[in-house]
Amino acid sequence: MEILLLALSVIIIIGLVSAIKIVPQQEAWVMERLGKFDGVLEPGLTMIIPIIQRVAYKHSLKEQAIDVHAQTAISNDNVTLLIDGVLYIKILDPKAASYGVSNPYYAISQLAQTTMRSEIGKLKLDKTFEERETLNHLIVTSMNQAATNWGIQCMRYEIKDIQPPKTILQAMELQVAAERQKRADILESEGKRQSQINIAEGEKARIVLNSEAALTDKVNRAKGEAEAIVCVAEATAKGIDVVAASIKKNGGTEAVSLRVAEQYVEAFGKLAQKSNTILLPANLENPSGFIAQAMTIFDRLKNTKQTDSKD
């Protein structure tokens, strides 16, 4: 009897222990009653009825990262790519995740692979590298539309690596090198062009400055020569005025006659020095005769001047 009571006590204790459930934070346990969905246990201490009720599924409500293994995909321009990524998901509906699909994590990873292949097929090779962020967004949108019935939400998807074939890589490297060489040649040509422009502008400025300097020099020289001519003319005029005033004085005519005679004799003496041909006056033996002739010329000039002044 005592053994029976002891066994009954053990059974009761085991039943009580199995009836008490402690659900951790950020987890959701799906409970069934006689094989039928009965509810979701919230975090904390919960009592269930042994044998009748049982915990069928346990789900973590935390955001989880799932590796999407490398797979081949063909771009729009028929280039085969090897792509892998990582998927971040979160269970929002434990009931749908338990009964909507047998293995939600496997199903969502396969959906990510097929969606990624589909989106890659819409883009060309260059766009897959340039629009990676856009591609990630499109994959997340497509997956959320299909995973709604599974109680799973795709938070984000990130492509880790895109590996094109080696031949494509070599072609891309050559293209990048050619593009860089092109930019270098353009920059060098622009530098040479700018240098030639600067040299031409400097030469132009030098020519303009030299011409302006020459113009200024000619103007200054012309002004100086004009002023010199004016000064000489004024001095000559003043000299003529002084000579004229002196002639009008007493004895001025005799002095002028004497000066003319002296200059005539002096000029006649220099004729043999400037030319091999000399024309001598007929009265060379009589100096007083050609002096008188010079005075006659002077008197004629004087009379002509006085006549002009009277008119």
Domain that holds residue 85: 64-164
14 is a domain residue: yes
Same domain, 265 and 307: yes
Same domain, 54 and 80: no
Same domain, 73 and 13: no
Domain boundary among 164, 199, 229: 164
Q: Model's pTM, two decimal places?
A: 0.50
Domain boundary among 108, 130, 164: 164
Domain boundary among 164, 179, 206: 164
Domain total in the chain: 3
Q: pLDDT per position in the chain (311 positions), as tens?
A: 667 666 666 666 666 667 788 888 988 889 888 888 888 888 888 888 877 888 888 888 899 888 888 888 888 888 888 888 898 989 988 888 888 888 888 888 888 888 888 888 888 887 777 778 888 888 888 888 888 888 888 888 888 888 887 877 777 778 778 888 888 889 989 989 999 999 999 999 989 898 888 888 888 888 888 888 888 888 887 877 776 676 666 666 666 666 666 666 666 666 555 555 555 555 555 555 555 665 666 566 556 555 555 55
74 is a domain residue: yes
Same domain, 83 and 145: yes
What's CA 100's distance to the chain center, in Å? 58
52 is a domain residue: yes
95 is a domain residue: yes
Same domain, 298 and 278: yes
- Those residues whose C-beta lies under 8 Å from the C-beta of residue 113, and which sit 6 or more positions away, are 68, 69, 71
CA angle 22, 25, 29 (to 5 degrees): 60
197 is a domain residue: no
183 is a domain residue: no
39 is a domain residue: yes
Same domain, 93 and 56: no
- Those residues whose C-beta lies under 8 Å from the C-beta of residue 152, and which sit 6 or more positions away, are 89, 90, 91, 92, 96, 97, 104, 108
